[in-house]
Structure 1
Amino acid sequence: MTSNSLLKLAALPLALLAVYPAQARKFEAVSERDGQLEVRTSDGSYLIKPYSAGIIETTFVPKGESADPASHAVVLAPAAVKTTLKQKAGAIEYATPGLSVTITKSPFRIAYAYKGKPLIAEKRGYVHVQDDPAAGSKDINKGEARELEAIEFALDKDEALYGAGSRAVGMNRRGHRFTLYNKANYGYGDRSELMGYTMPIALSSKMYAIHFDNPQTGYLDFDSRKDNSLTYEAIGGRKTYQVIAGDSWEDVIGNYTALTGRQPLPPRWAFGNFAMRFGYHNEKEARDTVNKFIADDIPLDAVVFDLYWFGKEVKGTMGNLAWDKDSFPNPEAMIADFKAKGVQTVVITEPFVVDTSKRWQEAVDKKVLGTDADGKPLAYDFFFGHTGLIDIFSPQGKRWFWDIYKGLRQQGVTGVWGDLGEPEVHPTALHHATGTADQVHNIYGHQWARLVAEGYRQDFPAERPFILMRAGYSGTQRYGIIPWSGDVDRGWGGLQSQPEIALQMGMQGVGYMHSDLGGFANPVLDNELYRRWLQYGVFQPIFRPHAQEEVPSEPVYREDQTKAMARAAIRLRYRLLPYNYTLGFDNNQRGLPLMRPMLYEEPGNAKVRAMSSTYLWGKDFLVTPVLKQGQTTAEVYFPARSAWFDFYTGERQAGGATRSVALSPDHVPVYVRAGAFIPMVNVVRTTRDYSTKNLELHYWHDASVEAGAGKLYDDDGLTAGAYEQGKYELLRFTSKLRDKTLALRVASEIGKQYQRPERGIALTVHNIGAAPSSVRIDGKVAVFGWDEKTGQLTIDLPASEQASRSIDIAL
């Protein structure tokens, strides 16, 4: 094909490209050196590099270009992986013990397989395409549709696709062409094609992921043309992707988060309840709210200040980033008083400095802001005023912003809330130290989270930062981002989209995606919606009601019945702290999501591929949120590998079927896996008072379970890297059922720098059909209680220094 005909091909609408044959790429040679394979072709070179048996990276370098080694996503160093290179007739196979790459010479083709199972193959591979001018995507310099660089793959006709970041389009996202441009969607409901946290990653029901390692703006096309194609398109940048596979979904996410970084364990107070609204105008409002939580006996761990902390007005003050002393005359004393009550203080910050703010001239003089093409600060209009944008890619921008955060931390502020970090308005004409707006747009939030994380690591190395932000990129989880799903509508549609968003983001390595509980946008008073959203919130990663102030988001300001139900939900959240904190540990160590789709449980079941109505909270809870007004029954799918017990009534359900269950106004349907251990504690007013010294341990016995296991992770809840420093305890629980004997064991692994408490355990064994003939604790006959009505066996293990305990029950 001539260069002239290639230009004609590139000028065609994207939808027509599929009818043209693959580009005539010719194989020329292959060589292996420096731990990678180089395949030279007529138009460039493929560099194929294994990171592990489950991760392979491929980079295409067109002729005349050089490889760009810099990745914003990848932090894993390639391991010394054993590889084999086999030359066959017309093909070359390059293989690790897991992933293999087959290069067919003519017609040229690259295909990937895992342990012999085909995964995905390049279709046309690297090509140039024209953007769709109808979408308004034009080259600002030429006024024409942009030319994009694309990589195209062939899909199986029946595989489901997930990924592309935060969206709400249905769990199986195949059939959509997604814009890769972080953009807030104010007041969205049950659907949203584009939101504030996009990622260039696709995951398949065939149990692999493909990550396109380039942050520049573009598109990710999940077979929108219905021609079995997966296509990544970008305005420029690296032509690099990683194929990630494994034997289970846990392996796939484990490999991906090994590649891009694991989430640090947040401070334990992040698992508690937040007081938050838009916003507290003065110190009295904030103090009154915290005191009302205490008076109403509703646990509380943090109070969050929206933008009134630095200005009396919404508009014209952004960028002040200092306490308004009229409204908050002594912030240090207020923060100290909250801390004495076990309540942390979090404040909002934005990356915009409006020209009416007190810091505008300082930002200009210190060259903190993004610029125009001539290097002058670029200011433009948006909702909050005429503004500049902090250039967090420049050394002076990073230093200036971090100094503000450092000063706030020294005042006692323990949580960072970064808002509008897409950035919300980011003109194409804006230049940053490392590229144009469109080149760095999608990593602005990523770099912002990095700035805070690295600042803490340098100046407060013993502390775990809390970083609440709504925009990021692949790998931002390693900086400790706690993302939320943006300004969702306060309506049933807004609630309906939340499980999908959180489940999808967890699959993509971002385990703490959550929603403004109750909904944010529009002054809607719907107590049923509020109750159901908070009941769902017990089983999502962060429990944080937040909304516009016209209708209060805090439960203490709702009518009595709603307040009582909210209190019950929040108290359950605190009772589950040992289980939930352990989920955070598993996320930190293995990348496992806190919320897991049914696909994780039954990867081979096509019926669950698009399911988000029921999901797993950790490994052992099955949750079905109530998502429709006036709903009296819910359809619950019970996975086939286990029996399941109603968490509230104890009723047993066999696995492998969908059943209609009656709803209670007090809670959403929640079931526990047979054979599960669930550690719990008594309710505390704040996580500052949390202790596992007196532990409730629940075990769900079932005759179908011969062996069960669970665990509890504990540390001081504050120290960064506590596990790595040996400042932890890990309790492991096991069960074995042999003949008529149920043997339960508790074993304690103690870090070298940790002092475990003397611990008493109140053990409840569920689903015991008759009183046992005997119970022995550590070999000695023990007193027990058995309730014929509930089938619950209760056994008290008195406080002991013993690291291991045994309970033998003769059924």
Structure 2
Amino acid sequence: MKTITLLTAFMLFAVGFTMAQDVEKTPSGVKAVVNDISVEIRFYSPSIVRVIKYPVGRVYARSSLSVIMEPRPVSFTMSTSGWRVLLQSDSIQVSLDTRTGRVAFASLSGASLLTEKDYGIQFSPTDSSFIVRQAFLLDKKEPIYGLGQQQNGRLNQRGQRIRLAQENMKICIPFFQSLKGYGLFWDNYSPTLFSDNPQETAFESEVGQGADYYFLYGAGGDGVVAQMRELTGQAPLMPLWVYGFLQSRERYKTQFELMEVVRRYRALQVPIDGIIQDWQYWGQDSNWNAMQFDPIRFPKPKLMVDSVHAYHTHLFVVAWPDFGPLTRQYSEFDAKHLLINFDSWPPNAGARPYDPYNPLARDLYWDYLNKGIFSLGVDAWWLDSSEPDHIDVKDSDFEQPTYLGSYRSVQNAFPLMHINGIYTHQRKTTSAKRVVILTRSAFAGQQRFGSCNWSGDVRSDWNVFRAQIPAGLNLSLTGIPYWNTDIGGFFAGRFAQDGGAKNPEFQELYTRWMQFAVFTPFMRSHGTDIPREIYQFGGPGQPIFDIQEKFIDLRYSLLPYIYSTAWQVTKNSGSFMRPLLSDFPSDTSVFNMDNEYMFGRSLLVSPVTEKGSSMQRVYLPSGANWIDFWTGEQFTGGRRIIKGTPMDILPVFVRAGSILPWGPEVQYATEKKWDDLEIRVYPGADATFTLYEDENDSYNYESGAYSEIDFQWNEASHTLTVGDRRGHFPGMPGERKFKVVIMGRGPGKEIPYNGKMKKVQL
């Protein structure tokens, strides 16, 4: 027995030695052959690593649609010990087992972060490629987040089995991040099965020439988001107006109906900044997406656009990725083989989607959109059905050719390429307007194209409403910061036949949903069956009207805070909607918390998602003290409290040690300059805040046309320091006033400011 043991040991050593000889160090990492699988490990930065695996004898040459980061030179060491190859940068360790092909990641101290499963790669041949599967091993109690926007009502995605394929209400991104401080992006565009069970966590893609993924170590939720933005692109800044209130309906049937909505908001003196023209402004379904206004119902579209602007409002117009058979677009795209041959929306209309993977098709799409719509002065886009809709589905549909291969091989990247085309072409057309795109689907990297996702055609239902909170948070954790949802739900269902906007339960649901929307990146009312304009619910002096007006006004008061947060999103890879675990990673109570979140760095929001609720339990995380936004009452963190929730109250708490700039009362975002701002200091800890200002639109900020003013509160000395203003832009306030209010400590103090540092003790 002893002889056999020694022989076995010798053989294992020999195999390990042989395997090690198949390892080649490269300038960015290592190449190896393990069990007829080529393995490449490449450092893109000290904390971002790409892993590629493909069968020996195959050539793997692929340019990513999502990843735009160019690998930069990274200093790393390489060592071998038997069958183990170890690479170490100044941030992480990466090891390769040359017996099993397992790649593992660890911190510099050697603590395990993520490991593949031994022999965890699988290639199942198909006619032209492979079904590709890679399995990983996670700690049993390790929470993970992301996967795009799923409607499962969960923040933590452990124990899930999800087919990641784009659908209405379902945004699929094969990316998750762990509470351990790393992220994993599986760079594949075909439908992919994500599965997590006690044995393994795996991605399995229907089409692939190899396995291709990125490991990102950020040492925390914000760090991982920052790494994902570095890898796939930063989010440009939206114009100030778009952070105001946006009104929509399915649909405004004439230009006169649309203009009447704008007029009524202005007459009621309820703030509004955008109105959205949804589908069928082009006429019949066979003329679907003709990208021109029907001359009967929209006889003077240029006058309509100009009139919207005269009311200091902005116009979104819808465009779809498919065309009806009677459109000029259909004829030209079809003649040039730029359509994908399957049925899209609407049913029985013969509409077909275009091939957005083809640069010629993207050029042609913009040419029609620009001439027919954008040239009228339209401000923003409502890009519906960007999955796209797929009806009368046949398996052969997925084998339809596109510019980049079969539709199945690139299906999930359809929205990425579609949005890319509109953003890129508008940027080339003009820099006077920042690109604003509302769209229903997304893929990794789409944040770089000026887009905001909405959660699709969700139902007017309390449980559906609650599920939107973790849906938005998980999308944010994939690196896509802009998200919103139809206030009140798109499909009104039973409410439409039971009183509509006068139905008490619908009024309650809509109003609670609107309160939530105040604390999302875009605040937008939309839906079918029941018109949602504020006056549909009553008039001034009636409770539901007054409560809705109160929260629209609140949104405008928060605009300096929101716009400054938007700048942090663009400049420092920040996020608007932040799960509590991002700010309080040491508080185990928040790891699975899916009904509260931070909006920016200072505001904790607990939406009321239960019918008839008059009280709500709110958890205040440890690691901070908290101040009730409405009453000023102070609380220590690490405990649950009961908050009264009459219809006009949404539980909001401010982190002690926060500074909130408070905007003036306005009817639209740019009505008044911010030359007389109130600066609200919430004491209890030191605080900092950077106020960001620019021209409110255009891309001049990319060339430095903006200003920043730092505010610092010193709790010990009760001193607020207003720092030197950095930067300049045309129209910038020179002399201005700040009214500083220490919340709960008196009426405040007004201080003049001319751009030079000021200190004031309060």
Q: Pick from 23, 46, 59: which aligns with 2:52?
A: 59
**Residue in 2 aligned with 1:119?**
113
Q: Pick from 511, 535, 554: which aligns with 1:531?
A: 511
How far apart in 2 are the matches of 1:151 and 1:697?
A: 52
Query: Which has the higher mean CA deviation after the structures are superposed, 301-310 or 600-609?
Result: 600-609
* 3-state SS of paired residue (1:308): coil
* 3-state SS of paired residue (1:688): coil
**Residue in 2 aligned with 1:410?**
375
Asked if structure 2 preserves the Cα contact closer than 8 Å seen for 1:27 and 1:108, the reply is: no
In the TM superposition, what are the counterparts of 1:349-428 in structure 2 within 5 Å?
A: 349-357=319-327, 359-371=329-341, 383=347, 385-407=349-371, 408-425=373-390, 427-428=397-398
Give the Å deviation of 1:67: 2.1
Q: Pick from 551, 564, 578: which aligns with 2:530?
A: 551
Asked if structure 2 preserves the Cα contact closer than 8 Å seen for 1:44 and 1:62, the reply is: yes
Per-residue CA deviation, residues 218-270 of structure 1 (Å, 9 max, x unaligned), is 212223xx314333433224411111112332111111111111110111111
The alpha-carbon distance between structure 1 residues 305 and 714, as it changes in their structure 2 partners (threshold 3 A), is same
How far apart in 2 are the matches of 1:307 and 1:69?
A: 38
**Matched residue type, 2:754:** E
Give the Å deviation of 1:461: 2.9
**Matched residue type, 1:756:** M
Q: Pick from 222, 240, 245: which aligns with 2:217?
A: 245
**Matched residue type, 1:404:** Y
Identity in percent: 25
Q: Pick from 752, 764, 769: which aligns with 2:741?
A: 764
Correspondence 1:803 to 2:752? no
Q: Can you give the 5+ residue segments of structure 1 that lack an aligned partner in the other structure?
A: 1-24, 132-138, 186-194, 372-377, 769-785, 787-792
In the TM superposition, what are the counterparts of 1:424-503 in structure 2 within 5 Å?
A: 424-425=389-390, 427-503=397-473
Correspondence 1:273 to 2:257? no
**Residue in 2 aligned with 1:165?**
148
* 3-state SS of paired residue (2:44): strand
The alpha-carbon distance between structure 1 residues 720 and 611, as it changes in their structure 2 partners (threshold 3 A), is same
Asked if structure 1 preserves the Cα contact closer than 8 Å seen for 2:34 and 2:98, the reply is: no
**Residue in 2 aligned with 1:182?**
166
How far apart in 1 are the matches of 2:27 and 2:743?
A: 58
How far apart in 2 are the matches of 1:299 and 1:382?
A: 35
The alpha-carbon distance between structure 1 residues 238 and 586, as it changes in their structure 2 partners (threshold 3 A), is farther
Q: Pick from 185, 188, 201: which aligns with 1:214?
A: 188
Query: Which has the higher mean CA deviation after the structures are superposed, 682-691 or 573-582?
Result: 682-691
Instruction: Considering fraction of residues, name the structure with more helix.
Output: 2
Correspondence 1:571 to 2:543? no
Root mean square deviation of aligned Cα: 2.1
Correspondence 1:590 to 2:572? yes
In the TM superposition, what are the counterparts of 1:645-684 in structure 2 within 5 Å?
A: 645-684=627-666
Per-residue CA deviation, residues 84-139 of structure 1 (Å, 9 max, x unaligned), is 112234422101111210223445432101232211111045533779xxxxxxx8
Give the Å deviation of 1:436: 1.3
* TM-score normalised over the length of structure 1: 0.86
* 3-state SS of paired residue (1:553): coil
Asked if structure 2 preserves the Cα contact closer than 8 Å seen for 1:729 and 1:748, the reply is: no
In the TM superposition, what are the counterparts of 1:41-60 in structure 2 within 5 Å?
A: 41-60=34-53
Correspondence 1:712 to 2:676? no
How far apart in 2 are the matches of 1:357 and 1:618?
A: 45
How far apart in 2 are the matches of 1:802 and 1:385?
A: 61
Give the Å deviation of 1:344: 0.8
How far apart in 2 are the matches of 1:359 and 1:29?
A: 54
Asked if structure 2 preserves the Cα contact closer than 8 Å seen for 1:302 and 1:343, the reply is: yes
How far apart in 2 are the matches of 1:244 and 1:306?
A: 39
The alpha-carbon distance between structure 1 residues 26 and 183, as it changes in their structure 2 partners (threshold 3 A), is farther
* 3-state SS of paired residue (1:346): strand
**Residue in 2 aligned with 1:309?**
281
How far apart in 1 are the matches of 2:222 and 2:560?
A: 22
**Matched residue type, 2:486:** D
Give the Å deviation of 1:30: 1.7
**Residue in 2 aligned with 1:189?**
none
* 3-state SS of paired residue (2:87): strand
How far apart in 1 are the matches of 2:116 and 2:470?
A: 29
**Matched residue type, 1:455:** H
**Residue in 2 aligned with 1:540?**
520
Asked if structure 2 preserves the Cα contact closer than 8 Å seen for 1:423 and 1:441, the reply is: no
Per-residue CA deviation, residues 610-658 of structure 1 (Å, 9 max, x unaligned), is 1121110111001000001001111111111111111111011111111
Asked if structure 2 preserves the Cα contact closer than 8 Å seen for 1:164 and 1:202, the reply is: yes
Give the Å deviation of 1:61: 2.6
Per-residue CA deviation, residues 382-436 of structure 1 (Å, 9 max, x unaligned), is 5261122111222332122101222222111111111111111173142212211
Correspondence 1:81 to 2:51? no
Asked if structure 1 preserves the Cα contact closer than 8 Å seen for 2:145 and 2:177, the reply is: yes
Give the Å deviation of 1:767: 3.1
**Residue in 1 aligned with 2:264?**
292
Per-residue CA deviation, residues 45-81 of structure 1 (Å, 9 max, x unaligned), is 2111112222111111320111223111111111222
**Residue in 2 aligned with 1:264?**
236
Asked if structure 2 preserves the Cα contact closer than 8 Å seen for 1:353 and 1:359, the reply is: yes
How far apart in 2 are the matches of 1:222 and 1:163?
A: 13
The alpha-carbon distance between structure 1 residues 748 and 566, as it changes in their structure 2 partners (threshold 3 A), is farther
**Residue in 2 aligned with 1:282?**
254
Asked if structure 1 preserves the Cα contact closer than 8 Å seen for 2:155 and 2:474, the reply is: yes
The alpha-carbon distance between structure 1 residues 720 and 208, as it changes in their structure 2 partners (threshold 3 A), is same
Per-residue CA deviation, residues 654-675 of structure 1 (Å, 9 max, x unaligned), is 1111122111311210011111
Asked if structure 2 preserves the Cα contact closer than 8 Å seen for 1:711 and 1:730, the reply is: yes
Q: Can you give the 5+ residue segments of structure 2 that lack an aligned partner in the other structure?
A: 1-17, 501-505
**Residue in 2 aligned with 1:348?**
318
Query: Which has the higher mean CA deviation after the structures are superposed, 353-362 or 57-66?
Result: 353-362
Give the Å deviation of 1:754: 5.0
How far apart in 1 are the matches of 2:334 and 2:206?
A: 32
Asked if structure 1 preserves the Cα contact closer than 8 Å seen for 2:599 and 2:605, the reply is: yes
* TM-score normalised over the length of structure 2: 0.91
Correspondence 1:747 to 2:723? yes
In the TM superposition, what are the counterparts of 1:691-710 in structure 2 within 5 Å?
A: 691-702=673-684, 705=685, 707-710=686-689
The alpha-carbon distance between structure 1 residues 803 and 73, as it changes in their structure 2 partners (threshold 3 A), is same
How far apart in 1 are the matches of 2:218 and 2:323?
A: 46
**Matched residue type, 1:807:** V
**Residue in 2 aligned with 1:199?**
173
The alpha-carbon distance between structure 1 residues 106 and 802, as it changes in their structure 2 partners (threshold 3 A), is closer
The alpha-carbon distance between structure 1 residues 236 and 104, as it changes in their structure 2 partners (threshold 3 A), is closer
How far apart in 2 are the matches of 1:409 and 1:380?
A: 24
Asked if structure 1 preserves the Cα contact closer than 8 Å seen for 2:52 and 2:211, the reply is: yes
* 3-state SS of paired residue (2:350): strand
How far apart in 1 are the matches of 2:205 and 2:280?
A: 41
Give the Å deviation of 1:683: 2.0
Give the Å deviation of 1:690: 4.2
Give the Å deviation of 1:323: 0.5
The alpha-carbon distance between structure 1 residues 177 and 125, as it changes in their structure 2 partners (threshold 3 A), is farther
Asked if structure 1 preserves the Cα contact closer than 8 Å seen for 2:100 and 2:118, the reply is: no
